[in-house]
Amino acid sequence: MKALVIIPARYGSTRFPGKPLAIIHGKSMIQRVYEQAQQVVPDVWVATDDARIEHEVKRFGGKAIITSVEHQSGTDRLAEALSSIPGALKYSVVVNVQGDEPFIAAEQIQQLIQLFKQPDTQIATLIKPITNTEDLMNPNKPKVVIGTNMQALYFSRSPIPFVRDADKIYWHIAHQYYKHIGIYAYRPQILLDITKLERSSLEIAENLEQLRWLQNNYVIKTAITEYESASVDTPDDLEKILNKRF
């Protein structure tokens, strides 16, 4: 199955401007993400809004494309890149690897691609078992409810379902909850279609764009991963990574 990886990487992050160019143990963050993706597929592009990031990608031999500065999400940036990269619509799968995941596991990308062997898969993402109350109650760690066929039924910042007969500190023991690991893959035409949708009421309520897709009846398949890589949202996150040994 022929897959394309696109890495959305914008320069103007509110909490960490220039984040993709941050140096992690001798390499820029965007180079580390790129190299992790290339362990799985040969065709990797960076979609950026800034010439400095484009220059860095080309410096280490990667492929980059300039996209609009107006995009509200990485998904929108991905769709523009998909429409501009020569031959991109011929791929079977497009994988969205976030530009702030310098140590994403190659196995996770492979898992997503494998989900498209199921003909009804339109969108794919990963989930991880929740094993503690802190993650379960944290609204910044979205939860996923799945059906018996591993299809996503709902995403929420709240812990759902509500376990009626147990104290909240034991919910993660009484029921198997899953957190969402924010890496996606799409069939190319599906990616183009979902970015044309208006924001939905559920998306607005929870501020989770994947609810727009579910509310419009798109099929999101999931796979369970045990990996949860360290994303870099702030300079403090970077400092924590720099203090680790690899």
What are 161's two structure tokens?
């379902």
Instruction: Indicate which CATH number applies to the domain containing 147.
Output: 3.90.550.10
115 with 99, same domain: the answer is no
Q: Specify whether 114 is located in the same domain as 219.
A: yes
- Do 82 and 192 belong together in one domain? no
Q: Are residues 93 and 111 in the same domain?
A: no
- Find the helix packing angle between 29-38 and 51-59, rounded to 10°: 50
Sign of CA dihedral 51, 56, 60, 64: negative
DSSP sequence for 127-160: EEE--SHHHHH-TTS-EEEE-TTSBEEEEESS--
Instruction: Please give the average per-residue pLDDT across 93-114, as a whole number.
Output: 94
Residue type, 23: I
Q: Which two tokens stand for residue 136?
A: 């379960």
In this model, does residue 129 exceed pLDDT 60?
A: yes
pLDDT, one tens digit per residue, over 135-187 is 999 999 999 999 999 999 999 999 999 999 999 999 999 999 999 998 999 99
Give the predicted TM-score (pTM) of the model: 0.92
Give the pLDDT confidence score for residue 15 in this predicted structure: 75
Phi, psi angle pair for 220, to nearest 5°: -115, 115
- Position 238 confidence tier, pLDDT thresholds 50, 70, 90: confident
- What is d(CA 144, CA 157) in angstroms, rounded to the nearest whole number? 9
Q: Kindly list the distances between the CA atom of residue 137 and the CA atoms of 145, 155, 171, 223, in Å, as whole numbers in the listed order.
A: 15, 14, 10, 22
Q: Number of folded domains in the chain?
A: 2
The mean-pLDDT minimum among 17-21, 122-126, 203-207 falls in 17-21
Alpha helix segments (H runs only) across 18-165: 29-38, 51-59, 74-84, 106-114, 133-137
Residues 119 and 200 occupy one common structural domain: yes
**Whether residue 238 sits in one domain with residue 198:** no
Question: Distance (Å, rounded) from C-alpha 120 to C-alpha 238?
Answer: 39
Q: Which domain holds residue 15?
A: 1-104+230-246
pLDDT at 244: 65
Does 92 share its domain with 184? Answer: no
| Pairing, β 63-66 against β 152-156 | unpaired
Residues 99 and 126 in one domain: no
pLDDT tens per residue across span 77-91: 999 999 999 999 999
Say how far apart CA 152 and CA 140 lie, in whole Å. Answer: 19
Please check whether residues 213 and 240 belong to one and the same domain. no
Q: Do 78 and 151 belong to one domain?
A: no
DSSP β-ladder status, 152-156 and 44-48: unpaired
Greatest pairwise CA separation for the chain in angstroms: 58
Q: 114 with 207, same domain?
A: yes
Confidence of residue 35 (pLDDT cuts 50, 70, 90): very high
Residue 246 above 80 pLDDT?
no
- The answer on 161 and 140 residing in a single domain is yes
Give backbone dihedrals phi and psi of 156, rounded to 5 degrees, phi first. Answer: -150, 150
Q: How confident is the model at residue 237 (pLDDT cuts 50, 70, 90)?
A: confident
